[in-house]
Structure 1
Amino acid sequence: MTIVRLPLFPLSSVLFPGLVLPLNVFEERYRAMMRELLKTPEDAPRRFAVVAIRDGHEVAPAAQGMPGSATQPRRGPLAGFGADPLKAFHSVGCIADAATVRERPDGTFEVLATGTTRVRVRSVDASGPFLTAEVEELPEERGEEADALAEVVLRAFQQYQKRLAGARELSVLSGELPNEPGVVSYLVAATMMLDTPSKQRLLQAPDFASRLRDELRLLRVETAILRSLPSLPASDLTRGPTSLN
């Protein structure tokens, strides 16, 4: 069991291993986190933990009214999350490795990170300028029939993507898709149009096979729904929307 202490970045979305995470960092608590990460040697990983918010706000509420040009967010690492962060955040998250941390002239940051390893949050420390957490790396188990499930899920996923794109062939589908069960399970989980609780459940699955079984059920349900809807724009398989902190 490997336990490490890392900066903690709560988001209103779920990060999966292999998913690219663009961030627009403007709140002071997260700017302080990025300044600390920049102290890491260039040849070492700049790691932080990402957890989905269960109860709270990704951006801290303004001191008076909603955030805007005339107001400033409440300060402090726990602003917007209440007194107990273990209740505000989901307990399972993902380590992110920041390949790019670029500071803008106004002091905000443009960050591009990639999810690497699932973790369970054991404790959260709010004594510094930003949140840190003790996290335990979670093992990745294959589960029974993972290889066979991956093949079935890939076929269902392709049908889902075609429906989502209005039956137009997507360039990503014409190439060779990965068939390794773990990669398939995270690719599908990250790409499907699901709410945060559903994505969090997929992240927390005990093994690849369990995640793939859940995804197969979801793909069949979502594909059936899409058959009755007008054409929808294709989704991007590698990058989600830029997260605001």
Structure 2
Amino acid sequence: MSLLPQILHSPSTTPIFISSLNPRTTTITPTTLTPPHHYIKKRPNLLRCAASSFPEKHHKSGPPPQSDDTIELPLFPLPLVLFPGTILPLQIFEFRYRMMMHTLLQTDLRFGIIYSDTTTGTADVGCVGEVVKHERLVDDRFFLICKGQERFRVTNIVRTKPYLVASVTWLEDKPADNGEEDLETLASDVETYMKDVIRLSNRLNGKGEKEAQDLRKNLFPTPFSFFVGSTFEGAPREQQALLELEDSAARLKREKETLRNTLNYLTAASAVKDVFPSS
């Protein structure tokens, strides 16, 4: 699969360049998140999982809300965003999360991954990661392959030790106001922009103008919108904003605008390269 440049949507329409369309393992810590306006270099092969502390804003007084849709979920704050349907490889080495894994392997193999960084703190909305493959090493570390499932919103912290457990409610997109046909049109537009961005990115990287084929892979508009958001790797705050939206049309429109801005940038960069081939 061709590479898709990393993209950051912002109100100023300034793109930055990000990820590959293929899932890969990465090593990320809050101090190594790439600053804007730089190409992301390929990173080492594995995300090492040590979590930040949960902010006090989530420690709400009183009992958690009573709802049939409220459940307790172990939480893992990380400097990345997991989307429904996407694959995330992890290495678990911190003691408290090794404890969590021992519990999960005896229960339903699901835990919450929630975005956290040193600047903005920990988000309220995350995504369930289900362990689909695991390997336990002799030193009790774990290698995991997780798949994104339902989104959730934190409503109350149940406990913080030995690891975070929260009451959460499920988050789903609202039905489209203007019908499924409009969503299909938006999804098709987004796919077209993605193909153009990949084509120009390949050209600028000396790979020729290779065409990307069938990026949607028969996905309906909502799961496709999550897939697109997952390719904006390296722009976690924008990814978090996309994850939190409860409207597929709004998510696709925002992604379309981001891709359009990036395409404009790449078109200008390509024109400069044509005039100044050695630059």
TM, length-normalised to structure 2: 0.64
Q: Is 1:26 matched with 2:93?
A: yes
2:40 corresponds to which residue?
Answer: none
Q: Is 1:202 matched with 2:265?
A: no
Partner amino acid, structure 1, of 2:103: E
Q: Is 1:169 matched with 2:236?
A: no
Q: Is 1:137 matched with 2:170?
A: yes
1:242 corresponds to which residue?
Answer: none
CA distance in 1 between partners of 2:233 and 2:172 (Å): 26
1:61 corresponds to which residue?
Answer: none
CA distance in 1 between partners of 2:141 and 2:225 (Å): 34
Partner amino acid, structure 2, of 1:207: D
What secondary structure sits across from 2:123 in the alignment?
coil
Aligned positions of 1:92-241 closer than 5 A? 92-143=125-176, 144=178, 145-166=182-203, 167-169=208-210, 173=213, 177-229=217-269
- Residue 174 of structure 1 and its aligned partner are, at CA, apart by 5.5
- Residue 185 of structure 1 and its aligned partner are, at CA, apart by 0.4
The percentage of aligned residue pairs carrying the same residue is 30
- Residue 194 of structure 1 and its aligned partner are, at CA, apart by 4.9
- Residue 88 of structure 1 and its aligned partner are, at CA, apart by 3.0
**Consecutive aligned runs of 4 or more in structure 1 exceeding 4 Å deviation:** none
What secondary structure sits across from 1:173 in the alignment?
coil
Which runs of no fewer than 5 residues in structure 1 stay unpaired? 57-86, 231-245
CA distance in 1 between partners of 2:98 and 2:220 (Å): 37
**Would you say the 8 A contact 1:17–1:94 is kept in 2?**
yes
- Residue 173 of structure 1 and its aligned partner are, at CA, apart by 2.0
Which runs of no fewer than 5 residues in structure 2 stay unpaired? 1-67, 271-279
TM, length-normalised to structure 1: 0.73
How many pairs align?
Answer: 195
What secondary structure sits across from 1:178 in the alignment?
coil
**Would you say the 8 A contact 1:38–1:101 is kept in 2?**
no
**Would you say the 8 A contact 1:100–1:113 is kept in 2?**
yes
CA distance in 1 between partners of 2:221 and 2:105 (Å): 35
Higher relative contact order (CA 8 A, sep 6+): 1
Partner amino acid, structure 2, of 1:15: L
